[in-house]
Structure 1
Amino acid sequence: MHEAARSPVDIDVAEVIERQRPNGFVIRLILLSWTVTFFDGFDMLLISFVAPYIREEYGADAVTLGQLFACGTFGAMLGGIAFGWLGDRFGRRPMIIASVAAFGLSSIAIALVGSMSALMVARFVNGITLGGLMPLAWALNIEYVPTRFRATVVTVIMLGYTLGGVIAGPVTVWMAPSMGWQSVFLFSGLATLLLVALLLATLPESARYLAVKNRSPERIAKALNAIEPGLGARASDRFGVPDETPAESAHAFRLSDLFKGHLRQITLLIWLAYIGTSMAIFFKSSWGPILFEEVGFTRTQAAMITSASSVAGAVAGLVLMRFTDRFGPIAIAVYPVVAIPLLLLMGLADIGLAAFAALTLVSMAMISGTHVGMHSISGIFYPSAIRANGAGWATSIAKIGSISAPLIGGYLLATSIAPRLLFVLLAATPALSAVALLLLGRQQRRMRAAPDAALPPIPAIPPAAAGQSS
């Protein structure tokens, strides 16, 4: 039969994605997502670096600054839930673009406010737009890469977020003293808006999502042909995702979907581990520059230590990612276990500033590495029909830790407690993450040993794939 006249065929979208070789389509998607999360991280963590300048301009005390930090994270909590639901309903692509455009505009709004109360409102709105982005980016990329590389790809993307936070420190030190702290948010907003045009032109929709939702066969065919050039898929073909059950895509999302079967334990443990690591990471990112000043470092040194610890966290995340793909949550649990004694030493030992800085870099690397690890696994346990919701709810529930950490820190700093003792209290957060991750790893092993075919499968590493290098 001539190729032009061939009959429609059945194409398993999941199989095409699983057997793909490295290709330009997916590499471009990862790079684009990395760029998006870079600006997300820059904007989200920028507030902690400009906080000393805000404190001076508005005469804000520690409690008020804690409330400002919490406004952004509370907004991010709502944004993760809202955009996760919108992403599963309307698609990953339009909601990612909407989120990026919105946080660019809200960043500009922060630069234009004239009072502390207006700043809190603007930061709350900014947080909503920032919180919605990452779960959507994870879902889109998870659905375009083979199972054995999912955690690795999410980790690489999250390094964009980490690097954005790293760059926020030096950029603030460079711009804020001469041009005002508002200039840094203005720069961030304008640069982010330029990214929207690139996303409109190049960002694809998830082929797996479209197939599950029975939408846009022409876009599915185009994406699969880009992944596997010799496939010859056409819009007239029938695209399916056999590893997704019909019930998963047939009904509107309900929160109870995250607690069906083995997902009940998985979801609860992910949430607990995420709360612990979010408390630690947001305490560090919110209060780090100010707290290090209180300990004895200069403002520039404090900003550089905070940024350097983020770099160390990025390296720790890179080291971890392939172990996470092979061993799952157990690999991530190593980092918080190491962080606990280091934080206790920082708070209780009589050490100089040099030793304190060294312990800070290592302990915060472990905390940041744990946070990156949580990002990499938060969405992989859920089927495509609810993946954005699953990741969105995980990141949003994690904001319980993100919101409480800066508030608790503010109230504690307002008392007579020695700044170093805060690190002793901080050690409880990696302890929570470690316990939850160890239990999550045990639950994963049980489900792999006795899978329930009626439920979404726990991602397994095929024996042949486990020996492959990245």
Structure 2
Amino acid sequence: MSMTATDPSPPVVIEVTDVIERQRINAFVIRLVAISWTVTFLDGFDMLVISFVAPYLRDGFGADVISLGELFAMGVFGAMLGGIAFGWLGDRYGRRPIIIASVVAFGATSMAIALAPNMQVLLALRFLNGVALGGLMPLAWALNIEYVPRRYRATVVTVIMMGYTLGGVVAGPMTVWLAPLYGWQSVFMVSGVATLLLVPLLFALLPESARYLAVKGRSPDKIAKALNALAPGLGARPQDRFMVTDETAPATGKGFRIATLFKGDLRPITSLLWLAYIGSSMAVYFKSNWGPIIFEDVGFTRTQAAMIMSVSSIGGSLAGLALMRFTDRLGPIAIAFYPMLAAPLLLVMGLAPVSLQGLAAFSLLSMAMISGTHFGMHSIAGIFYPSAIRANGAGWATSVAKIGSIFAPLLGGYLLAMNIPPRLLFVLLAATPLLSCVSLLLLARVGNRQAARTPVPTDNIVLPAHAVATKP
């Protein structure tokens, strides 16, 4: 029976967990995923376009490989700090306002990069741009995870991250199209304007997490509105009591400390998640930052190098899509399959006398496996943590992963400056998927033990208010 805010009947207890777990696919969630996909598309474009712009910076600003490595690392370092800072803000003030703030910030800094007069200013602006870019994704994951059933969490995060990868795919052709005609600055200007145009849509349509609000005891009117959108016949009202039954203390992220991520069962989970993420990020960011230049150095044209990178990104997207339902069913062990394949492929690329055509084919396959692994890491980054610290958990995971993201481009720049054969770098890179593979296999064992203790949905979504006193 439907109830309204003016209904005189007594308040009831509504179990938010069960409403979310029992929902069917509906317009509310589809709209949320579509909005999140769009903002991550722009995030991915902005984050990855720097590698395609790098050859033009080498020509225009006279940047050498070391200064380009510093530029790549500066953006990633900013993203590392942004993931931590925005994750903390998202757990304290809510997902919605901090997501919007992040989008505004990276749109504005993208436009500012287009006006940079020299390499020093560009480094500073790229750092600020990275802070904003790094803060967005953990919050988008947290918001979507908290609105979908457990059985679809990895799938939804993977779909959202398709936007990030496709943003990187578009970055290559867009740079090749715009930069020769209007300068590399035009690429960042177009990105910044498009991002800021999205902000009014976010104000109008982006919801706050009902699960987060219920855990925090805030805004019952917004919780009721969201739950009624998920389950139209529910009739939730602001005066009802909203419970989250599948999460344990702490119930607030206000006093969050990093030690919280290492309490109890979270200790091995956080440690192994971070190690797997570091290996995955190191491989992905080495590929995305140095890929175009290395491919030019081994004999491909600039256009061919950009095309290889873009096609490999599409392959990574397809690998991520193929993986997502297996991840929802099997957990981290499903993800470990990809780095098992990537490591030997990288060794072949570095050690075997492969032609340019063969190198292109092996590159496409290995990079698809590397990107597919990274999709998998994104999809599980927030699922092990309760809502009160989910943004912090995902934010810290993505930020710690940036250790690999920072180290890889810096190391690549110094190795290339030492005139090490470019192909030999693929041999060194093979260690990173091995690290991810071992960590994921161990994480799967720990995660299975945690899942065995997770409460199953109850029989009743709506209970009389007095039942909360006796409910176990």
TM-score of Structure 1 vs Structure 2, range by shorter chain: over 0.9
* Contact 1:84/1:391 (8 A) holds in 2: yes
Structure 1 residue 8 corresponds to structure 2 residue 11: yes
Question: Structure 2 matches for 1:243-262, cutoff 5 A?
Answer: 243-249=246-252, 252-262=255-265
- The letter of the residue matching 2:77 is F
Counterpart of 1:137 in structure 2 is 140
Structure 1 residue 272 corresponds to structure 2 residue 275: yes
CA distance in 2, matches of 1:387, 1:274: 16
CA distance in 2, matches of 1:338, 1:154: 23
* Contact 2:278/2:401 (8 A) holds in 1: yes
Structure 1 residue 163 corresponds to structure 2 residue 162: no
Could you tell me how far 1:461 is from its partner in structure 2? Answer: 12
Counterpart of 2:151 in structure 1 is 148
CA distance in 1, matches of 2:224, 2:261: 30
1:218-242 CA-to-partner distances (Å, cap 9, x unmatched) read 0000000000000001111111112
Question: Structure 2 matches for 1:133-212, cutoff 5 A?
Answer: 133-212=136-215
Could you tell me how far 1:249 is from its partner in structure 2? Answer: 2.3
* Contact 1:147/1:461 (8 A) holds in 2: no
TM-score, scaled relative to structure 1: 0.95
* Contact 1:152/1:322 (8 A) holds in 2: yes
- Name the count of aligned residue pairs: 455
Do the aligned partners of residues 242 and 460 (structure 1) sit closer, same or farther apart at CA in structure 2, a change above 3 Å counting? closer
Could you tell me how far 1:460 is from its partner in structure 2? Answer: 8.6
* Contact 1:39/1:188 (8 A) holds in 2: yes
Counterpart of 2:469 in structure 1 is none
Counterpart of 1:63 in structure 2 is 66
CA distance in 2, matches of 1:145, 1:53: 43
CA distance in 2, matches of 1:254, 1:442: 26
Structure 1 residue 329 corresponds to structure 2 residue 329: no
Could you tell me how far 1:378 is from its partner in structure 2? Answer: 0.5
Could you tell me how far 1:315 is from its partner in structure 2? Answer: 0.1
CA distance in 2, matches of 1:257, 1:441: 21
* Contact 1:148/1:461 (8 A) holds in 2: no
Counterpart of 2:357 in structure 1 is 354
- The letter of the residue matching 1:75 is G
CA distance in 2, matches of 1:126, 1:378: 23
- The letter of the residue matching 1:72 is G
* Contact 2:91/2:254 (8 A) holds in 1: no
CA distance in 2, matches of 1:423, 1:84: 34
CA distance in 2, matches of 1:166, 1:272: 27
Residue 320 of structure 1: which of 313, 318, 323 is its match? 323
Structure 1 residue 100 corresponds to structure 2 residue 100: no
Counterpart of 1:454 in structure 2 is none
Could you tell me how far 1:254 is from its partner in structure 2? Answer: 1.2
Which stretch shows the higher mean deviation, 314-323 or 237-246? Answer: 237-246
Compute the RMSD of aligned alpha carbons.
1.5
Counterpart of 1:284 in structure 2 is 287
Q: Which runs of no fewer than 5 residues in structure 1 stay unpaired?
A: 452-456, 463-470
Do the aligned partners of residues 442 and 58 (structure 1) sit closer, same or farther apart at CA in structure 2, a change above 3 Å counting? same
Could you tell me how far 1:58 is from its partner in structure 2? Answer: 1.2
- The letter of the residue matching 1:204 is P
* Contact 2:88/2:391 (8 A) holds in 1: yes
Which stretch shows the higher mean deviation, 414-423 or 184-193? Answer: 414-423
* Contact 1:326/1:461 (8 A) holds in 2: no
Identity of aligned residues (%): 71
CA distance in 2, matches of 1:2, 1:269: 46
- The letter of the residue matching 2:227 is L
* Contact 2:80/2:131 (8 A) holds in 1: yes
* Contact 1:325/1:461 (8 A) holds in 2: no
TM-score, scaled relative to structure 2: 0.94
CA distance in 2, matches of 1:53, 1:100: 26
